[in-house]
Structure 1
Amino acid sequence: MSSAETAPADPSADPRDGAPQFVLPLVVRLEKTAPPARTDALETAARAVLTLLADERAEGDGAWAAAVRDWQDARIRKVVRRARGAEWRRACGLPGITVTGATAEVRVFPPVPLDGWPKELVKLQVSGTELDDPAAPAPPAPGRPVLWLNPGLGMSAGKAMAQAGHGAQLAWWALDDAGRKAWREDGFALSVRTAGPERWAELTSSALPVVRDAGFTEIAPGSCTVVADHPALRARA
């Protein structure tokens, strides 16, 4: 799987690079006999990020709050790794939250220093895995958030999972308290879909949150990867 980091148009000028760098680890369960569907894995990863951000341990004086603040003060790096069998069981023994989809299981952990991964996670593989959808995803549910992927970028499953997590996080930051509460009560329902070219042009010219990648892996720096189309944000755009 892969990593993703948000970036401004000129990453070299970003003052966040002077801060200590943290990363949000996500681990997707990938058993040989039952891999998850790609779209479900992307959606589950996005919901996992939201679930951690909304957790009381990540807020105020919570046990994870300082790590979350340090992470958000720098680039919001996310790294997706894969595990199966005993690897997955060891990962589940660490503090974190497991979020399940129709076919996917993703565990999200509180942020860790970029070079300070727990030993149970550091050896998990990052690259070399791809996921497929057994059938074309259904149209997004009307009236609910959609994280639209750039149709012109070919991203690995891990890269796309991290980018979907970024999109969900930018939407969360942009919402007011009432919007966050409503989304939480709806179980962080969302869809991840690839936009058509014309739709993508419309989305990127709107005032909706746009993820721009830092370009450390797979794609060029500053590439627009995801637009977070949340109905509450569209109403204000």
Structure 2
Amino acid sequence: MSSEDLPEPLAVSTPEPLPGADRESVPADPADSPFRTEPTSRDEAPQFVLPLVVHIEKTDPPARTAALRTAARAVLTMLSDERALGGGEWAQVMREWQDARIRKVVRRARGAEWRKASALPGITVAGEHAEVRVFPPVPLDAWPRELAKLQVSGTDLDDPEPPAAPDRDAPVLWMNPEVGMSAGKAMAQAGHGAQLAWWELSDTERKAWREAGFPLSVATPDPDLWRELTVSGLPVVRDAGFTEIAPGSCTVVADHPALRR
């Protein structure tokens, strides 16, 4: 597929390791992660990407924070779906995706585009005035045509009203207050943060979160709280810097009650 065949994505995001705090990257030792199956270097393994498509109609776009929260819940829903586990129909490609760099790409669709995307195998997650469909991972250079042709240039989202304060008794994805990101980039980062928290939890804790419907908040702390969070021992997402932001930027802290030490 040539570069002309693949339109510019809304967000391409690949996290990099942050020594001491970041758990988003796959450890070198596969025994360190319950989801990595091969000892091959992440860069040497075949590269896959997890596609997410956000439903954006011109006349009724979702609020930014609602879209971020729904994207994070969509990632968690895919990670926990029976088809993605054990001998499920998506299990092999999910293993291959998690053996390589954890890439997520967010695109947008409306009208007929959304209906065509919805016909492909995947899971649609509806949130508060936001809808995101997540698909099984695909090879980095072999997207389904219905997804590859989706256009995203110039699209962003806003919060018409200030988001409600996060519930500190439930999981919170804290976004870096000092790094500006498009809505799509931020959605991918929120997905990374949710995946980090998922990896860190025990089987019992994962089951409880899933059965509760993956409640979570997305919030932007003040700079002082952000600095405290990044050194708290909670999982931190550090971006590879392929799009929009500088390499090594810390973008999200994944705060789950079970992970607070």
| SS state at 2:163 partner | coil
Q: Tell me the equivalent position of 2:33.
A: none
Q: Tell me the equivalent position of 2:17.
A: 8
* Mapped partners of 2:224, 2:247: distance in 1: 23
- Identity of paired residues, percent? 73
AA aligned to 1:7 is: E
Residue 178 of structure 2 corresponds to residue 169 of structure 1: no
- The unaligned stretches of length 5 or more in structure 1 are none
Q: Tell me the equivalent position of 2:176.
A: 150
* Mapped partners of 1:136, 1:4: distance in 2: 26
**Residues 1:193 and 1:2: Cα distance change in structure 2 (over 3 Å):** same
Q: Tell me the equivalent position of 2:104.
A: 78
| SS state at 2:83 partner | helix
* Mapped partners of 2:226, 2:259: distance in 1: 17
Mapping 1:1-237, distance limit 5 Å:
1-9=10-18, 15-234=41-260, 237=261
1:116 CA displacement = 0.7
* Mapped partners of 1:39, 1:132: distance in 2: 8
AA aligned to 1:33 is: T
Question: What value does the CA root-mean-square deviation take over the aligned residues?
Answer: 1.3
AA aligned to 1:226 is: V
* Mapped partners of 2:11, 2:154: distance in 1: 9
1:126 CA displacement = 3.7
1:102 CA displacement = 1.1
Higher helix share: 1
In 1, are the aligned partners of 2:241 and 2:248 still within 8 Å (CA)?
A: yes
In 1, are the aligned partners of 2:239 and 2:251 still within 8 Å (CA)?
A: yes
> 1:90-130: CA deviations, max 9, x gaps?
00000000000111100000000000100110011243211
AA aligned to 2:118 is: C
TM-score scaled by length of structure 1: 0.96
* Mapped partners of 2:70, 2:218: distance in 1: 10
Over 4 Å off, 4+ runs: none
**Residues 1:206 and 1:186: Cα distance change in structure 2 (over 3 Å):** same
* Mapped partners of 1:51, 1:220: distance in 2: 29
- The unaligned stretches of length 5 or more in structure 2 are 1-9, 20-24, 29-40
Moved more, 135-144 or 31-40: 135-144
**Residues 1:174 and 1:100: Cα distance change in structure 2 (over 3 Å):** same
**Residues 1:9 and 1:179: Cα distance change in structure 2 (over 3 Å):** closer
1:8 CA displacement = 2.2
1:9 CA displacement = 4.8
In 1, are the aligned partners of 2:18 and 2:236 still within 8 Å (CA)?
A: no
